[in-house]
Structure 1
Amino acid sequence: MPNNASALQLVLSGDPALFAIVLLALVVSLSAVLLAALIGVPLGALIALTSFRGRDGVIVLLNTMMGLPPVVVGLIVYLALSRSGPLGAWGLLFTPQAMVIAQTILVAPIIAALSRQTIEDLWLEYRDELMAMNVRWLGRVGTLVWDARFSLITALLAGFGRAAAEVGAVIIVGGNIEGYTRTMTTAIALETSKGDLALAIGLGIVLMAIVLMVNALAWAVRRAAERLAG
């Protein structure tokens, strides 16, 4: 009970250490989702609107990558960014940028797979009309992406939820350095092991609130889409 009271006090009093961790986690996750969207939406559209040999295999691979093990991604990024790795000269290991890279790799397949399915369904529905009007490829993509905007926003929110809850990859490539690369999930794991349950519970409360808001926003987006469609 005292830990719970102390945790609420940390949250309600605006504890600087707690909210510095929250701010870093949000910046890293939002940056990763933005980069993943820039990669995933065009890739999903390309696969949805293009016929090529091995397309089914690419779709299966993309769907499989939605469940990439975070620790494996963290290990791969660690090896790439380590001093002896191919990108070691960039000096990004144990920085927020390394955490953004790892989260982008985890989130991009989710956004790409969901975008591909959404855009492909719309393409099957509107293909005859778009082809009859001689709409070029970029015009088709723009039309379908705009029509699927609510579903795509939901995909982005799903990606953000995955990124915000990530711990395995970011702790490997970020190092959980206090005041620099410590995020909500890594701090919860560390503070729990240290026995500082007040801070761990406080961060857990904030993380759950963020997840709740993301899910509420996704629900609101779906409801808005249903009303427009109706």
Structure 2
Amino acid sequence: MHEADRAEAGRWLARHGLAETEPSPLLVARLAVRRRAKLFDSLLLAGFLLGAALTHVLALATGATSAWPPLLVLAALVAGLLGAQWLLASWVRRADQRAGARLPRRVALPVQLGWEAVLGRPYALFTVATFAGAMLLAVSVLPVSDPGLRYGATVVLIGLAGAGTGIVLQLRQVLASPAVAEDEASLTADVIMRVEDARALVTPSLVWSLPAIFLYGESLGWWNAASVALVVAGVIALSLIHNRGAGVATAARRAMATR
């Protein structure tokens, strides 16, 4: 066990009101894997945006905005992102399973926690509204006569479809995974991690980025202002939900109280 990982686990416990709990090897290992997975996921997202932007620029430069090859490349990028994120999530779950297999005894949740208990209605509504806003913006741009802008809108729609599918699949995995715990404290930590994982999944970094990056054409228009407004409104709404809503630990304890 690395001391840095143990220290980080101690800070994590303190942030969630469990300062009196000693960081166990189980918790240290699970949190360390999640930190690495978060870093890899950020790199995947950056790689996808870079690849999609490069494809978009090349299509505009060669005048291939109405051709199939660029769209096929984008579809492949979306599929690659989804597959890589799924493998990353599976890696985290396998690490959890290996850690749980070494426990002398395991404590299980008596009932399956649902999306409302783990994610929460405000975050779910925010996610749906964010996707709906981005999709509506992209669809509204399709009738514009600028071919580059229409191509960018197609890119946005493909990316949104992939991102939405990935969120649904990974959220199901978060909810369906069995608890990895040996006592009440580690069971509480398990539910807290589920809440953190679910909220991280619906943070709309990709959804905000796609319209702002790809919805541009021969000249600036209302779509550029709408793309910026989508990001600004989303950041404000997410901040309000985060600051005024239940914290991660509170949401986790409420979820456990409904058992």
Structure 2 length-normalised TM? 0.33
Higher relative contact order (CA 8 A, sep 6+): 1
